[in-house]
């Protein structure tokens, strides 16, 4: 019972899906980081505008004051747009992370099934191999017993059923004196 091709194909498909989810998660994290950098730059723009207003108060330049106020307003408007987008992206990244982890769990479960099936298959093969070795040894052992049993019966059949070798004399046909 080999691990089926369908199970291996399923494992490959799940690995591909997991990789796809990982890439989507990385993309979402990249977008979230970009939005956060934009919010940080907006905060810096707001601080720059406030600095310009403060400097214009000491220099008396009206243009710097108006430019500083406009920079501050633009930064505030941009922050108002970025904050909801960041919140939305954070929830999207959370969902993407959940999907990625679900696919990873699914792939690992399939991987475990394949590994167990391969281990079971290897164990069965090892048992078959051991059984063949045991059968071969048993057949040799039975063959040797059969040969050993056949040799004395052949000798008795040759001599008419009587032992032709007298014990202790070393020569066939001679009887030992008593």
Helices 62-158 & 5-59, crossing angle to 10 degrees?
160
Count Cβ neighbours within 10 Å for each residue of 11-45 and write b for 16 or more, e otherwise. beebeebbeebbebbeebeeebeebeebbeebeeb
pLDDT, tens digit, for every residue of 33-79? 999 999 999 999 999 999 999 988 888 888 888 999 999 999 999 99
Residues in the chain with pLDDT < 50? 155, 157, 161-164, 166, 178
The reported pLDDT for the residue numbered 128 is 95
The reported pLDDT for the residue numbered 126 is 95
Can you read off the two tokens belonging to residue 100? 């990625």
Can you read off the two tokens belonging to residue 26? 């990385």
The one-character DSSP state at 160 is T
The reported pLDDT for the residue numbered 169 is 52
Q: Which residues contact 10 (CB under 8 A, 6 or more apart)?
A: 110
**Of how many residues is the chain composed?**
178
The reported pLDDT for the residue numbered 173 is 54
pTM of the full structure: 0.64
The reported pLDDT for the residue numbered 57 is 85
């Amino acid at each position: 019972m080999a691990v089926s091709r369908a199970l291996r194909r399923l494992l490959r498909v799940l690995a591909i899906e997991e990789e796809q989810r990982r890439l989507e998660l990385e993309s979402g994290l990249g977008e979230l980081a970009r939005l956060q950098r934009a919010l940080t730059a907006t905060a810096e723009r707001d601080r720059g505008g406030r600095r310009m207003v403060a400097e214009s108060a000491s220099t008396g330049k009206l243009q710097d004051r108006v430019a500083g106020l406009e920079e501050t307003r633009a930064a505030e408007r941009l922050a108002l747009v970025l904050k909801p987008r960041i919140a939305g992206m954070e929830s999207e990244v959370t969902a993407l992370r959940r999907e990625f982890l679900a696919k990873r769990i699914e792939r690992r479960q399939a991987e475990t099934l394949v590994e167990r099936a391969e281990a079971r298959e290897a164990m069965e093969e090892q048992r078959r191999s051991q059984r063949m070795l045991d059968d071969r040894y048993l057949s040799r052992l039975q063959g040797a017993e059969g040969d050993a049993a056949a040799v004395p019966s052949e000798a008795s059949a040759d001599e008419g059923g009587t032992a032709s070798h007298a014990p202790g004399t070393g020569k066939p046909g001679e009887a030992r004196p008593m």
